[in-house]
Structure 1
Amino acid sequence: MGARMVLSLLLLALAIYCGLDPFNHSAIHGFPNFVSHEVELPDPSSIPTNKDPLNLLQNSEIKFLGQIQGPESLVFDPLGRGPYTGVADGRILFWDGTNWTDFAFTSANRSVCDPQPNPFGYLKNEHICGRPLGLRFNKKSGDLYIADAYFGLMKVGAEGGVATSLVTEAEGVPLTFTNDLDIDDDGNVYFTDSSSQYKRRNFMQLVFSGENGGRIFKYDPVTKETSVLLKNIQFPNGITFSKDGSFFLFCQGSGKIIKYWLKGDKVGTTEVFAILPGFPDNIRTNKDGDFWVALHCRRSWTNHLMAANPRFRNFVLKLPIKAKYHFLFFIGGWPHGIIIKYSPQGQVLQVLEDAPGKVVKAVSEVEERDGKLWIGSVLMPFVAVYDLDSTSA
């Protein structure tokens, strides 16, 4: 057990010894208006134990170090150019083969947009500047669709510029934390909203609380109508279609991948596709129909303890310690890169990891292209590129 973990436990013991009632919410003051919910815990025996003992992600090439900050999603346009990526100050950048250039913005108000976020990856003014997360090109029209955490679903044409707002609410409920999207062959956009209560800059409260106000939507660009497919979900995040379009998958903060059937006898129903060993972000389909899942770090015993005891969790969150120590206690360690490839049937095909976090410290998305994995991270000031051929070498 690390020194920081011991510190947290000692503080907890001291608080109890001093007479604080763990279940007296009126004595709790650290996180205003914070309420913990039940967290869906998977059966421990179902959590995969596959690891990468060689820490192969440490063989990744670090590109563009210091040139970009927080490139969560990486996409290439229908002509194969790019990558394009959204960064911390609200811009969407384009790599032209020589330099990064401004391609698009989700906010025209740029006067307060400092590109340097805090250590947890968010800006003081990102609710003004915008924070583009998931990106996808419509391969037929060339339009770039954007899931902006604050401004909802947006679109910009192939020429770039200020993006157009498409969806900011559904069924009278505003979008609060728009996160990721994918586009089907008919141009319909499926996207996630991670919370009904917490904005992206409050993502730690969302993780710690277990709030289940997330939703998944379908936007029809012809009728401009938005329908709610699923609601009451704990932190829905990345979303992607299967190669044949018969279902889509989305990552859930509780550590699951959920399958939603779009065709066949089970249309409109869901089922668990896979149980994950950690905390997922985006998921992407490769040309073979397999799925690459990005995880921030593995589960820990402290995570299970906190998840199973919401009232106890509420109390611990109010202890007078820094947010980073809460993160250590609840998550069990700092982020480190983990990537898992799943077959269309949900079998683990490959695990790539940097357990010490020496090179790939965090992973938000993995885009496979021409035998390489392009790895984005909402926390890091670079893109990592992993050569798949080196795995079999």
Structure 2
Amino acid sequence: MTPVGVFTLLFLLLALYCGLDPFKHSAISEFPDFQSYRLDMPAWSQVPTERDTENLLQKSEIKFLNQIQGPESIAFDPLGRGPYTGVADGRILFWNGQSWTDFAYTSSNRSELCDPKPSPLSYLKNEHICGRPLGLRFDKKTGDLYIADAYFGLMKVGPEGGLATSLANEAEGVPLRFTNDLDIDEEGNVYFTDSSTKYQRRNFMQLVFSAENSGRVLKYNPANKETTVLERDLQFPNGVSLSKDGSFFVFCEGSHGRLRKYWLKGEKAGTSEILAILPGFPDNVRTNENGDFWVAIHCRRNMYTYFCALYPKIRTFLLKLPIPTKIHFLLQIGGHPTAVVAKYSPEGKLLQLLEDNQGKVVKAISEVEEKDGKLWMGSVLVPFVAVYKLP
């Protein structure tokens, strides 16, 4: 056989292997109904170009290393005690000043399946059994802790902790499948996100790859115990935070990389608008005492993700190749985990940007909570909390 013939044969065999994926190595091999959706991304020229050239987040202090797994949300109770955080094994822990103690949990079906494991991702397989508390918020009036559990929906536990009770696990007859974050107004109404009605959190990478649009923003009314849908057909809605005056709340559009404002009062009440185009893809958002919004940005945009967003058929083709999910994830985040946090005014102006663009100290931040001149940063993917002292 000629060299050309050998090359042709090898090419055909490779194409056949890629097409059949006999060893199920592709990122979507277990999802026969997988479909990619187009993302109407903002023009590249609209993406903020500001950088923290000093990598100030590298000055952060790493706390509780390997004592907690995947602390996504950081909360302090009305008396200022804490932090409290939800971890990968389904518990909510409380730092009493000397050690971490169990405070609450969301699943009544805990067993050895939920026992300690070596990394946050080790729990993915059993998250639907053990629970996965994500967003946490205290009601400042009652001391109750409200919990967005990815699998069990919107929940609440009293100031003494224990097993949380369910407040909402469906809306309009559609189950909450990926409850993500929440905030509470002065009347006790809870605004929260359901990132997808198709994919659960343990398949969050497939949700990222798909960019499917079944996400919702919802409201729970404690007076009549009803849950209503405020926004629908969203692509990975995530963090939620009320404005200081309560006239609106903002939520993150994860797949688009945007911060969106939903009006609660005034002439625009019941409508939403884009507040800011973010430099990357966000997770949670939190309001500080001045009324500004701290946004945790999981990773910056890059041309690979931008191109794939615009061409879903090419994205699906690439995902069908026998390439592990982890490799696709690294391509999505630019090669390695980094850290970016951004502060925005209520008008959507970028006020401050902090980075560790090498992921040397801080990486994959899920939330930023400002307290007493410090930023407390949690991450669903790492075994520690990072604390940065503001100048």
Using the size of structure 1 for normalisation, the TM-score is: 0.91
> Which residue in the other structure is 2:52 paired with?
52
What residue in structure 1 maps to residue 274 of structure 2? 272
Offset at residue 109 of structure 1 (A): 1.9
2:3 counterpart residue number: none
Could you give the per-residue CA deviations for residues 268-297 of structure 1, whole angstroms, max 9, x where no partner exists? 111100001111000000000000000111
* CA distance, structure 2, for counterparts of residue 136 and residue 121 of structure 1: 26
Q: Go from structure 1 to structure 2 and tell me whether the alpha carbon gap of 1:106 and 1:247 turns closer, same or farther (over 3 Å shift).
A: same
Counterpart residue number, 2:94: 94
2:115 maps to 114
User: In structure 2, what is the equivalent of residue 182 of structure 1?
Assistant: 183
Counterpart of 2:117, as a letter, is Q
Matching residue's letter, 2:178: F
Q: Which residue of 2 aligns with 1:157?
A: 158
The 2-side partners of 1:70 and 1:301 are apart by 29
Contact 1:76–1:82 under 8 Å retained in 2: yes
SS at the partner of 2:240? strand
Partner of 2:375: 373
Cα distance, 1:334 vs. partner?
2.4
| Cα 1:310/1:117, change in 2 over 3 Å | farther
SS in 2 for 1:274: strand
1:2-151 to structure 2, matched below 5 A, reads 18-19=14-15, 30-32=29-31, 33-111=33-111, 112-116=113-117, 120=121, 122-151=123-152
Following superposition, the deviation at residue 123 of structure 1 comes to: 2.3
TM-superposed deviation, 1:328: 2.2
- Give the C-alpha shift of residue 120 in structure 1: 4.5
Mapping of residues 265-304 of structure 1, within 5 Å: 265-304=267-306
Pairwise CA RMSD of aligned residues? 2.1
| CA–CA separation in structure 1 for the residues paired with 2:208 and 2:118 | 19
| TM superposition shift of 1:264 | 1.0
Deviations along 1:66-89, one digit per CA (max 9) or x if unpaired, are 110100000000111101000000
Report the Cα distance in structure 1 between the residues aligned to 2:307 and 2:18, rounded to whole angstroms: 15
Tell me if structure 2 keeps the 8 A contact 1:145–1:154: yes
CA, structure 1 residues 181+295, in 2 after alignment: closer, same or farther (shift >3 Å)? same
Percent of pairs identical after alignment? 67
Residue deviations 1:229-285 (CA, integer Å, cap 9, x gap): 011000000000010111110001110111111111111111100001111000000
Q: Deviations over 1:55-106 (max 9, x none)?
A: 0000000111111010000000011110100000000000011110000000
What letter matches 2:60 in structure 1?
Answer: S
The verdict on how the C-alpha distance between 1:121 and 1:275 changes in structure 2, with shifts beyond 3 A counting, is farther
Flag structure 1 segments of 5+ consecutive residues without an equivalent.
1-13
Q: Which moved more, 1:126-135 or 1:215-224?
A: 215-224
Q: Closer, same or farther in 2 for the Cα pair 1:16/1:114, shift >3 Å? A: farther
In structure 2, the partner of 1:314 is 316
Query: How far off its partner does 1:24 sit?
Result: 11
Aligned residues: 376
SS at match of 1:258: strand
Q: Displacement of 1:329 after TM fit? A: 2.6
- Output one character per residue of 1:16-44: Cα deviation in whole Å (capped at 9) or x when no partner: 9955699999x986342211011121111
Contact 2:294 2:368 in 1 (8 A): yes
Query: Is this contact kept in 2: 1:70–1:381, CA < 8 A?
Result: yes
Find runs of 4+ consecutive structure 1 residues off by over 4 angstroms: 14-25, 117-122
Q: Which secondary structure does the structure 1 equivalent of 2:124 belong to?
A: coil
Query: CA separation in 2, counterparts of 1:217 and 1:290?
Result: 23
Distance across 1 between alignment mates of 2:196 and 2:328 = 20
Amino acid at match of 1:208: F
Cross-structure match for 1:10:
none
